[in-house]
Amino acid sequence: MKLSDVTLSHRYANLGDAFGTRIDPTPFKHPQLIDTNPQVMQLLGIDPTEAENPAWAELGSGAKLFHGSRPFAMKYTGHQFGVYNPELGDGRALLLGEIENAGRCWELHLKGAGKTPYSRFGDGRAVLRSTIREYLAGEALHGLGIRSTRALCIVGSDEPVTREQVESGAMLIRVAESHVRFGHFEYLFYTKQLQAQQQLISEICHRFVPDTEGLSTGEQAEALLRFTTRRSAELAASWQAEGFAHGVLNTDNMSIIGDTFDFGPYAFLDDYDPGFICNHSDHTGRYAFEQQPGVVLWNLNALAHALSGFVSVEALRDCLEQFQPQVTHAYAGRMRAKLGLIEEEDGDQGLCADLLQLLHQGEADYARFFRVLSHYRCERPPEGLHDCIATSQHNALELWLEHYDRRLLREKSDSRTRNRAMVAVNPKYILRNYLAQKVIEAAGQGDYHPLRTLRKLLQSPFEEHPEHETWAAAPPESGKRIPLSCSS
């Protein structure tokens, strides 16, 4: 499909006025195309030859709309840091509509598009820095096999936007199968709009939850909570296994279909530190790395509460009780793959826990350790494995490797096959904060090449790409724990 043939439809906006407000974007005066994402274009069925089409600058900044666009600000609320906030909604983003391709529907959401009735004191804008971080995060997570929203294109401008300092404004078109958050259901529940809530339950079930057609609202609501619980458990497990810290797991940042959603001060771990807090305004560590599964469950409780008009407390509790075992199961599966284990053994959890403890104490870089370990042959540690860990932990590592050796002997796979499988799940390239920083600084100077290079590497993070070795380097000490604020 040519870019000019893209036509949008509007199942969400068609739900009615209870769900948001029809409003047009406020375009930038001088939009400048920074990048288009060929993988997402392909997902939507847009011809790859359209990647350089100058029309992207206008489409990606609201100056021109896709055929049939009916921009719509969605209303939602949510719990932020545990406190209910009734004033939320799309304050700087608009749902443009959806595209169907190859049997799937994708919503386009223009972020940074100007003020809406839900902007409160905000300016409706997003800065280049946060837009690049969101753009890259979606690709990095997707590249690692983690559910995430993604972005179709990114557009910059010379429009000044004031945060801690004056920065420049940017927009991106976010793409997801749904932009409905836990907070959409909380809004309808707390404002007692039961009929609208019924409509939304039915719509989400119709689109995403199998075998719910024709069920009563109560049955659908229960099936929806089971579905979201399972998806969220898999999501939390994959964050923990791949070392991703979201940073702001408020219920308005939780996707009903289990995508990683709304990127703020997120971080991929450099050194393995379970207590890592990436958001410098998270003083209590509510959203620390190791807290994530617990917080996701807290958020699911809030969602369950919002569905309590339709589902009995017993049934809600039963759904939520599935969460912990689902996380454990999904996490164990991912960690086993990272360790190259195909069979399942009772002791695997202990083996993994012992390793994590020594990685923590040895201040080891999480991704690099697993990448080097991927070349392990029985009783022959690969070159550089010990260098990943502080010398104080070398004895502990030796001990752990003895256990690992014994465990590997009970595997049926040969080491060559195992090495290949491990390299395919332990990334060489991850989105480290210092790399994002480097790309942002270049983009600020008008050089978008580093951004495009990093985007491509993150889209195939398991490949060697020998010509881009520097992007896989260990972070400098100054590049670790860069404090990140919520302002975006």
Query: Based on CB atoms, which residue is closest to Mg ion, 174 or 231?
Result: 174
SS3 286: coil
Per the annotation, the verdict on 252 as an active-site residue is yes
Determine the distance from the C-alpha atom of residue 161 to the mean position of all C-alpha atoms in its chain, rounded to a whole number: 25
Give the shortest CB-163-to-ligand AMP separation in angstroms: 9
CA distance 289 to 293: 9
Residues 229-258 close enough to bind Mg ion by CB under 5 A: 253
Set 5, 24, 211, 252: catalytic member: 252
CA distance 108 to 260: 16
- The dihedral of CA 407, 408, 413, 419: what is its sign? positive
Query: Based on CB atoms, which residue is closest to ligand AMP, 265 or 340?
Result: 265
Query: Based on CB atoms, which residue is closest to Mg ion, 179 or 480?
Result: 179
Please, what is the angle between helix 292-306 and helix 217-242, to 10°? 170
State the binding partner of 483 from Mg ion, ligand AMP, none, CB within 5 to 8 A by kind.
none
Cα dist from 11 to 99, 154, 279, 373, 488, whole Å: 11, 25, 35, 48, 29
- Residue 344: how many CB atoms within 10 A of its CB? 9
Residues 80-119 close enough to bind ligand AMP by CB under 6 A: 88-92, 118-119
Do residues 43 and 151 touch, judged by C-beta distance below 8 A? no
What are residue 75's DSSP bridge partners?
A: 89
What are residue 72's DSSP bridge partners?
A: 22, 95
Q: Which stretch binds ligand AMP (CB under 6 A): 122-130, 134-142, 173-181, 469-477?
A: 122-130
Do residues 126 and 75 touch, judged by C-beta distance below 8 A? no
State the binding partner of 183 from ligand AMP, Mg ion, none, CB within 5 to 8 A by kind.
none
State the binding partner of 219 from Mg ion, ligand AMP, none, CB within 5 to 8 A by kind.
none
What are residue 85's DSSP bridge partners?
A: 78
Query: Based on CB atoms, which residue is closest to ligand AMP, 122 or 483?
Result: 122
Is 163 a binding residue for ligand AMP by CB under 6 A? The answer is no
State the binding partner of 133 from ligand AMP, Mg ion, none, CB within 5 to 8 A by kind.
none
Query: Based on CB atoms, which residue is closest to ligand AMP, 283 or 412?
Result: 283
Query: Based on CB atoms, which residue is closest to ligand AMP, 125 or 147?
Result: 125
Query: Based on CB atoms, which residue is closest to ligand AMP, 13 or 327?
Result: 13
Give which of 87, 106, 86 is closest to 95, Cα–Cα.
106
Is 262 a binding residue for Mg ion by CB under 5 A? The answer is yes
Do residues 204 and 180 touch, judged by C-beta distance below 8 A? yes
State the binding partner of 112 from Mg ion, ligand AMP, none, CB within 5 to 8 A by kind.
none
Residues 123-142 close enough to bind ligand AMP by CB under 6 A: 123-125
Please, what is the angle between helix 449-459 and helix 433-444, to 10°? 150
Give the shortest CB-365-to-ligand AMP separation in angstroms: 29
SS3 17: helix
Q: Which residue is nearest to Mg ion (CB)?
A: 262
CA distance 118 to 72: 11
- Residue 22: how many CB atoms within 10 A of its CB? 12
CA distance 437 to 267: 12
Task: Please select the residue that binds ligand AMP; options are 16, 68, 122, 275, rule is CB under 6 A.
Answer: 122
Give the shortest CB-120-to-ligand AMP separation in angstroms: 6
State the binding partner of 323 from Mg ion, ligand AMP, none, CB within 5 to 8 A by kind.
none
Residues 235-254 close enough to bind ligand AMP by CB under 6 A: 253
State the binding partner of 89 from ligand AMP, Mg ion, none, CB within 5 to 8 A by kind.
ligand AMP
Interacting residues with ligand AMP (CB under 6 A): 88-92, 118-119, 122-125, 253, 262, 264, 488
Interacting residues with Mg ion (CB under 5 A): 253, 262
Q: Tell me which residues are annotated as active site.
A: 252
